[in-house]
Amino acid sequence: MNDSKTPEGAAQRAPVIGITSYLEQAQTGVWDVRASFLPQVYLNAVTDAGGIAIVLPPQPVSPGIAEAIVAGLDGIILSGGADIDPARYGQEPHERTGAPRGDRDAFEAALLDAALAAELPFLGICRGAQLLNVERGGSLIQHLPDVVGDDRYQFGGGVFNPIDVEVDAGSRIAEVLGEDRGARAHLYHHQGIGEIGDGLTVTSRTADGIPESIELADHPFGIAVQWHPEENPQDRRLFAGLVAAAREYRATRPQTPHADPREQS
24 in Cβ contact with 253 (< 8 Å): no
For helices 40-48 and 237-252, angle between their N-to-C axes, nearest 10 degrees? 60
Please say if the pLDDT value at position 44 is more than 90: yes
The catalytically annotated residue of 67, 126, 190, 215 is 126
- Nearest 5°: the CA angle 116, 226, 171 is 60
How far, in Å, CA of 46 to CA of 50, rounded?
7
> Would you call 230 a catalytic residue per the annotation?
yes
Q: How far apart (Å, rounded) are the C-alpha atoms in residues 136 and 175?
A: 23
**Total residue count of the chain as it appears in this document:** 265
Taking only the tens place, the pLDDT of each residue in 144-181 is 999 999 999 999 999 999 999 999 999 999 999 998 99
- For residue 212, indicate whether it is catalytic: no
How far apart are the C-alpha atoms of 104 and 108, rounded to whole Å?
6
> How many CB atoms are closer than 10 A to CB 40?
9
Q: What percent of the chain has pLDDT over 90?
A: 89
**pLDDT for the residue 10:** 53
Q: Across all residues in the chain, what is the average pLDDT?
A: 92
Spatial distance between the Cα atoms of 248 and 242, rounded to a whole number of angstroms:
10
Q: Other CB atoms closer than 10 Å to residue 183's CB: what's the count?
A: 25
> Quick check: 45 pLDDT over 50?
yes
Among this protein's residues, is 126 annotated catalytic? yes
Average pLDDT over residues 25-52: 96
| First vs last C-alpha separation in the chain | 39
Which run of H or of E encompasses 165? strand 161-166
Query: Could you give the count of Cα atoms lying within 13 Å of 159 in the half-sphere of its Cβ?
Result: 6
pLDDT(131) > 90: yes
What mean pLDDT is predicted for residues 105-114? 98
Q: Per CATH, the architecture of 7-263 is what? A: 3-Layer(aba) Sandwich (3.40)
Q: What is the mean pLDDT of residues 97-108?
A: 95
Spatial contact of 111 and 173, defined as CB atoms under 8 Å apart: no
pLDDT band at 54 (very low <50, low <70, confident <90, very high): very high
- Among candidate residues 212, 192, 100, 81, the one with its CA nearest the CA of residue 145: 192
Distance CA(185)–CA(161), nearest Å, equals 8
Question: How far is residue 120 CA from its own chain's centroid?
Answer: 12
Q: Please tell me the distance from the alpha carbon of residue 18 to that of residue 51, in angstroms, as a whole number.
A: 10
Q: What is the pTM of this model?
A: 0.91
CB 76 within 8 A of CB 16: no
Q: Among 5, 107, 3, 96, which residue's Cα sits nearest to residue 65?
A: 107
What sign results for the dihedral spanned by CA atoms 171, 177, 178, 184? negative
Q: For 234-247, what is each residue's pLDDT tens digit?
A: 999 999 999 999 99
Place 6 in a pLDDT band, splitting at 50, 70 and 90: very low
Name the catalytic one among 135, 212, 215, 230.
Answer: 230
Which residue is catalytic, options 186, 189, 190, 228? Answer: 228
pLDDT, residue 155, reads: 96
Nearest alpha carbon to residue 159 among 130, 190, 183, 131: 190
Predicted pLDDT of residue 169 = 96
Question: Residue 255: pLDDT band by 50, 70, 90 thresholds?
Answer: low
CA-nearest of 58, 86, 100 to 191 is 86
